[in-house]
Homo-oligomer: A and B are copies of this chain.
């Protein structure tokens, strides 16, 4: 099944220029054909094409279905890697598995201070269509580390950092019904001061297992664990 994207639904009932071109020129859909559309806000639409204009494909909605809501808000905050391909990859995979919000922060060992959210938004929408989901995760602009600590209302607040004296696996800290935020540090890890700062704000140190994982792999493991906790 192919999904089109129109985030102004239900108000606007046509596809934007790129989506119209894809629908009419590439997929050769005609007036009367049925198409499937998501609004990125959690609703699937079935629609019938009323005007097969390759620059502005108009449709009428025939059916709407709400996507099932996850049992808690899954929020990942990460220090972006220098290599943007690795972040794009993560965004794609996290969207496929299921994530509600992704934040980026600058910490002491961060190698990247700037993130182009626009480009990541495109990756997210394409992963959304691929995995037949209707709700787009929120992507937040990069902020300093301390701002991530302060601006959350999550009930479960975790920081991926191995405390060798008191090793707790992340999976043992998750609960089926509580909003969760997990912080993943940069390649050079968090500093002890950053970990203390997080602990002071109620964040618990958790391990992701015995392997030494790259930043983006650790983040995906954490996203997978949050999804397993809901299943």
Q: Interface residues, chain A, CB within 8 Å of chain B?
A: 89, 93, 96-98, 130-133, 169, 171, 209-214, 217, 220-221, 224, 227-228, 231
Residue of B nearest to A95 (CB): B211
A98 and B93 CA atoms in complex are apart in Å by 19
Q: How far is the CB of A1 from chain B (nearest CB, A)?
A: 10
Establish whether residues B214 and A171, one from each chain, have CB atoms under 8 Å apart when the complex forms: no
Establish whether residues B211 and A131, one from each chain, have CB atoms under 8 Å apart when the complex forms: yes
Return chain B residues, CB-CB under 8 Å to A93. Answer: 217, 220
Q: How far is the CB of A104 from chain B (nearest CB, A)?
A: 21
Return chain B residues, CB-CB under 8 Å to A209. Answer: 97, 227-228, 231
Establish whether residues A214 and B96, one from each chain, have CB atoms under 8 Å apart when the complex forms: yes
Return chain B residues, CB-CB under 8 Å to A133. Answer: 211
Assuming the contacts A169-B231, A221-B224, A228-B171, asked whether A211 and B130 have C-beta atoms less than 8 A apart, the reply is no
Which of B97, B210, B211, B212 interacts with A217 by CB under 8 Å?
B97
Copy tally for this chain in the complex stands at: 2
A71 and B220 CA atoms in complex are apart in Å by 24
Establish whether residues A212 and B89, one from each chain, have CB atoms under 8 Å apart when the complex forms: no
Establish whether residues B212 and A132, one from each chain, have CB atoms under 8 Å apart when the complex forms: yes
Question: Shortest 4 CB-CB distances between A and B: which pairs?
Answer: A131-B212, A96-B217, A132-B212, A209-B231
A169 and B231 CA atoms in complex are apart in Å by 9
Q: How far is the CB of A41 from chain B (nearest CB, A)?
A: 18
Establish whether residues A213 and B131, one from each chain, have CB atoms under 8 Å apart when the complex forms: yes
A133 and B220 CA atoms in complex are apart in Å by 20
Other A-B pairs beyond A93-B220, A131-B211, 12, CB < 8 Å = A93-B217, A96-B211, A96-B217, A97-B217, A97-B221, A98-B210, A98-B211, A130-B212, A131-B213, A131-B214, A221-B224, A224-B224
Q: How far is the CB of A126 from chain B (nearest CB, A)?
A: 11
Return chain B residues, CB-CB under 8 Å to A96. Answer: 211-214, 217
- 26 residue pairs of the A-B complex, CB under 8 angstroms, read A93-B217, A93-B220, A96-B211, A96-B217, A97-B211, A97-B213, A97-B217, A97-B221, A98-B210, A98-B211, A130-B212, A130-B214, A131-B211, A131-B212, A131-B213, A131-B214, A132-B212, A133-B211, A171-B228, A209-B227, A209-B228, A210-B231, A211-B227, A220-B220, A221-B224, A224-B224
